[in-house]
């Protein structure tokens, strides 16, 4: 049995087609062509705008021509994450899906249900002639995961609809009406490298097996950060045992909680045994601390060739201390919406290349002043440690409007279908509604979707039954959109 055998067949078949298309952010050429070819095959009007967003137009079902126009919106790109022991080229290889009981997941990689499932549902509205609806436009943006570039580049006036249904929510019971804004930060430590002295032996330290996850949706789960775990070991190695660090790599994407990190070090031979015992002791303590959120945490230390050169001690030590000092967690929970993260930071990606050690973080907040205050805090920590820091890629939040007609309609349809109301909420994750609403200020906007767990991590999975329930809800909502 494969996902093409699941119901509703039209949705799962369209999702299967997307899993065949390599589509990491900023590499959407293949999936863009797939969408346009699919539209041509199904006789759906479609085009790519001048920047690369794909737009489809679906005429109203006969008798529904006077209904308000609806824009179904999702993004074509996916987060490319895999476990260290998985062989997968995200630029060439299709996603290998697995049916795991009530869930669909992937073999060692992200699944791409974020947001492939939302795009598949939109495509299915265009394909399934039994769905009754007024005028529908489908907007599939690009590069959502690394900056919302497609939404930012969309021109005002290109779309004619009145209501935006964003299909990028990840809990079938949630009716999302707002989201946090974000800001990227990069700290840059400039360093010199030196030949590794005689009498040192090489080791590779690997932190792996952490749960990771979406830095917006999962940050409140207080999972371990692989970069933070690594510096807890590196600082005493440098200070107490005279170790030299040749390389430090951690994390892969600014919006994914880092679940793996790796460092190559050189330790004086006569101190190696004591130093390794110290690493094991530190890790034992940390494993106990995170036994509930990260039960799969591993720390592997193996002998390797002595590195030829190392990063100057003062810079590496200052960088490690700044990484440890900089927060990477929830800063404040919302006081007005129970359970909602208001402000957070994800210390995400560390690289050492060509004389520069860089630390990339993503800051999020529903309140602009709080986001700026956090940015100042990050700036001061890294500047005190000797780094240059820059901020970029800022995007606004989406201010909730609880009392719009579309919110009531969706909730009414959910009660009619499933006997209970949805949870009206805002999300700490970034949604393109914030940028799109600035270009189309008269739109009513809401975000819905099936249940997707652990997006942005290799444990990503989508609930099979939730897909069918969300599809039925979407069909009911479209059938009951009011006239203009």
β-bridge partners, 174:
423
User: Is there a catalytic annotation at residue 294?
Assistant: no
**Residues 6+ away with beta carbon under 8 Å from 311:** 191, 192, 193, 244, 245, 246, 247, 248, 352, 357
Cα distance between residue 180 and residue 429, in whole Å = 6
Among 77, 137, 145, 294, the one annotated catalytic: 77
Three-state DSSP class for residue 61: coil
**What are 100-106's contacts with CB under 8 Å, separation 24+?**
100/461, 102/463, 102/464, 102/465, 103/453, 103/461, 103/462, 103/463, 103/464, 104/3, 104/6, 104/461, 104/462, 104/464, 105/459, 105/460, 105/461, 105/462, 106/458, 106/460
Cα distance between residue 341 and residue 344, in whole Å = 7
Cα distance between residue 328 and residue 325, in whole Å = 9
- Contact between 122 and 230 under an 8 Å Cβ cutoff? The reply is no
- Contact between 446 and 176 under an 8 Å Cβ cutoff? The reply is yes
* Six token digits for residue 36: 């346009």
User: Is there a catalytic annotation at residue 144?
Assistant: yes
Among 127, 137, 144, 170, the one annotated catalytic: 144
Q: Which of 210, 149, 174 has the alpha carbon at shortest distance from 457?
A: 210
Kindly report the number of other CB atoms within 10 A of residue 17's CB atom. 19
The backbone region for 222, taken as left when phi is positive above 0, alpha when psi lies in -120 to 50, beta otherwise, is left
Q: Which residues are catalytic?
A: 77, 144
């Amino acid at each position: 049995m494969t996902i093409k055998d699941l119901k509703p067949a039209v949705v799962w078949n369209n999702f299967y087609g997307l899993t065949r298309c390599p589509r990491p952010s900023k590499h959407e050429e293949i999936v863009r062509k797939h969408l346009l070819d699919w539209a041509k095959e199904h006789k759906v009007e479609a085009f790519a705008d001048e920047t690369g967003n794909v737009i489809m137009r679906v005429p109203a079902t006969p008798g529904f021509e006077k209904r308000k126009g609806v824009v179904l919106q999702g993004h074509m790109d996916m987060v490319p994450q895999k476990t260290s022991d998985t062989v997968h080229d995200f630029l060439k290889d299709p996603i290998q899906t697995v049916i795991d009981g009530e869930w669909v997941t992937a073999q060692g990689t992200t699944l791409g249900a974020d947001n492939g499932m939302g795009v598949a549902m939109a495509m299915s509205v265009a394909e399934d002639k039994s769905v009754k609806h007024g005028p529908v436009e489908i907007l599939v943006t690009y590069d959502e995961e690394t900056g919302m570039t497609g939404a930012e580049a969309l021109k005002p006036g290109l779309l004619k609809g009145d209501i935006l249904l964003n299909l990028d929510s990840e809990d079938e019971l949630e009716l999302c009406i707002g989201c946090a804004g974000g800001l990227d930060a990069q700290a840059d430590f400039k360093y010199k490298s030196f030949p590794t002295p005689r009498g040192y032996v090489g080791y590779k330290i690997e932190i792996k097996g952490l749960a990771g996850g979406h830095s917006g949706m999962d940050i409140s789960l207080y999972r371990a950060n692989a970069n933070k775990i690594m510096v807890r070991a590196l600082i005493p190695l440098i200070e107490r045992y005279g170790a030299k660090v040749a390389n430090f790599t951690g994390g892969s994407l600014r919006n994914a909680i880092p679940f793996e990190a790796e460092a190559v070090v050189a330790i004086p031979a006569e101190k190696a045994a004591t130093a390794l015992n110290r690493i094991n002791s530190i890790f034992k303590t940390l494993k106990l601390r995170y036994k509930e959120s990260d039960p799969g945490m591993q720390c592997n230390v193996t002998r390797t060739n002595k590195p030829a050169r190392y990063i100057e001690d003062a810079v590496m030590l200052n960088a490690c201390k700044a990484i440890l000092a900089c927060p990477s967690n929830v800063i404040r929970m919302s006081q007005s919406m129970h359970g909602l993260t208001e402000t957070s930071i994800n210390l995400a990606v560390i690289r050492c290349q060509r004389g520069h050690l860089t630390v990339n973080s993503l800051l999020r907040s529903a309140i602009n002043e709080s986001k700026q205050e956090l940015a100042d805090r990050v700036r001061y920590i890294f500047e005190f440690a000797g780094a240059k820091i820059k901020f970029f890629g800022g995007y606004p939040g989406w201010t909730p409007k609880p009392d719009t007609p579309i919110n009531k309609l969706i909730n009414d349809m959910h009660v009619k279908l499933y006997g209970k109301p949805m949870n009206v909420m805002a999300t700490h994750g970034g949604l393109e509604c914030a940028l799109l609403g600035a270009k189309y200020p008269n739109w009513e906007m809401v975000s819905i979707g099936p249940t997707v767990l652990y997006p942005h991590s290799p444990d990503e999975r989508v609930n099979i039954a939730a897909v069918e329930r969300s599809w039925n809800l979407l069909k009911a909502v479209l059938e009951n959109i009011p006239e203009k």
